[in-house]
Structure formats: structure tokens, C-alpha cells
Amino acid sequence: MKKDSRRSSRVADLVRAELSLLVLTEAHDPELKRVTITDVEMPSDLKSARVYFSCLGGEAEREQAFQALKRASGYLRREVGQRCGLRYAPELKFVSDLSLEHGARVEELLHQVLPPETDETPDDAQDEGAPQATPRAERRDEGAPQSTSGAKREDEP
């Protein structure tokens, strides 16, 4: 799928929404109840669709979900074609979406490498007894006369 057109991406979003609804509400296979349709990619001719799915559980549950989607593909294809008003009902190719697992693995590795986060703010981390730096305007000598303009006044040395 080299270059996606605007129409193919809009139709892919519509197909994803319809497939999600079909799998969630109208599919009678209990193995499909754990399936989530994550993304759909379609070429510009709209005759096929690569459907990415994820499911709860491990590799065995993912394989069962893939087989259930394969069994229901004829019904899903017909319903998507009718509900979306497409001239050709797209051929559905199901692909397991492993991005959630990859993201969890990356996060796990980051937690191993990075130090644990603390809830302290930078102000809390400073010592209470240590003198704190004050802004330049507050460091002026209170007793000295201050000029309001950049020019020297006559009574100033």
C-alpha cells in the first residue's frame, strides 16, 4: 500500500468502525468477544482491507481469535460491503496487531534502565536551612536612595 489517498483512509476508518461494531455486537462466536479491531488499511482501489486486531491473553488466545475471524470473514465481508455502501465488498485480511505488546515491552525496559521517579518538586528538594538566591530587584540596599530613571540625580555622588 504505497500511497494512501484521502478517500481510502476515510473508507478504512468507516470499515474499522463497522467491523468493530459487528464483532462486538452481532458476531455470535464467543471467541470474537475479546477481539478489538485496532486499525484498517486499504489501497486506493478499495478492493481489499488489511484488518489489524488485538485480543486479551497470550499467543494461544491470539491464534484462536485469528481462527474465529477467519471463520467469520465471509459474514463480516458481506455486512461491511452492505453497510458502507461500497461497490465491491473488500477482501478482509486479518493481521495480529502486536503494537500494544511492543509498547509494553519498551515501557518495561525503560523502567529497568531509568531511575524511579520521585514525587518531589525541585523546590522541595532544596535544603530548608540553606540561603536561597533572591531576585536582583530584592537584593537592593533598602536604605540607599534609588533613582527612577537611568540618569544620575544631582544629589547622588
Residue 54: give its domain's CATH number: 3.30.300.20
Q: Could you tell me the residue range of the domain that residue 22 belongs to?
A: 6-101
Q: Evaluate whether residue 110 is within a structural domain.
A: no
Q: Evaluate whether residue 62 is within a structural domain.
A: yes
Q: Evaluate whether residue 147 is within a structural domain.
A: no
Of 38, 46, 32, nearest in space to 16 by CA: 38
Q: What is the band of 124 on the pLDDT scale with cuts at 50, 70, 90?
A: low
- Number of structural domains in the chain: 1
User: Which pLDDT does position 26 carry in this prediction?
Assistant: 85
Task: Measure Cα distances from 17 to 13, 29, 125 in Å.
Answer: 6, 19, 49
- Cell matching residue 136: 536582583
Q: Evaluate whether residue 137 is within a structural domain.
A: no
Q: Evaluate whether residue 58 is within a structural domain.
A: yes
Q: What is the band of 1 on the pLDDT scale with cuts at 50, 70, 90?
A: very low
Q: Evaluate whether residue 146 is within a structural domain.
A: no
Q: Are strands 48-55 and 91-96 parallel, antiparallel or unpaired?
A: parallel
User: Which pLDDT does position 11 carry in this prediction?
Assistant: 92
The rounded percent of the chain whose pLDDT value lies above 70 is: 72
Q: Evaluate whether residue 124 is within a structural domain.
A: no
Q: Evaluate whether residue 125 is within a structural domain.
A: no
User: Which pLDDT does position 148 carry in this prediction?
Assistant: 54
Residue pLDDT, tens place only, 46-103: 899 999 999 888 888 889 999 999 999 999 999 999 998 888 999 999 999 888 778 8
User: Which pLDDT does position 146 carry in this prediction?
Assistant: 56
